Amino acid sequence: MSPAASAFLDMLAAERGAAANTLAAYRRDLEGAEEAIGDLAAASRANIAKLAGIWSDLAPSSVARKASALRQFFGFAVDEGWRDDDPSGALPQPQARRPLPKILSHNHVDALFERAEEEAASGKPTAIRQLALIELLYGSGLRASELVSLPLSAVPRDAPLLTVMGKGGQARMVPVSERAREALDQWLSVRPSEPASGFLFPSRGKAGHLTRVRLFQMLKDLAARAGIDPAGVSPHVLRHAFATHLLEGGADLRVLQTLLGHADIATTQIYTHVDAARLVALVNERHPLARRGASD
Active-site residue set: 143, 167, 236, 239, 262, 271
Q: Can you list the alpha helix ranges (DSSP code H) found in 125-164?
A: 125-140, 144-148
Going from the C-alpha of 25 to that of each of 20, 43, 68, 97, the distances in angstroms are 9, 21, 12, 20
Q: How far apart are CA 52 and CA 14, in angstroms?
A: 31
Could you tell me the CA-to-CA distances from 53 to 12, 44, 185 in Å, in that order? 28, 16, 58
DSSP 8-state class, residue 250: T
Is cis: bond before 195, omega within 30 of 0? yes
What does the alpha-carbon distance between residue 183 and residue 120 come to, in Å, rounded to a whole number? Answer: 9
- Dist CA 262 CA 270 (whole Å): 12
Query: HSE on the CB side for 212, CA within 13 Å?
Result: 10
Phi, psi of 163 (to 5 degrees): -90, 120
From 197, 224, 223, select the one nearest 210 (Cα to Cα).
197
The answer to whether the CB of 117 falls within 8 A of the CB of 163 is no
Torsion angle of alpha carbons 80, 85, 90, 92, nearest 10°?
Answer: 30
The answer to whether 137 touches 235, Cβ cutoff 8 Å, is yes
Strands 161-165 and 171-175: antiparallel
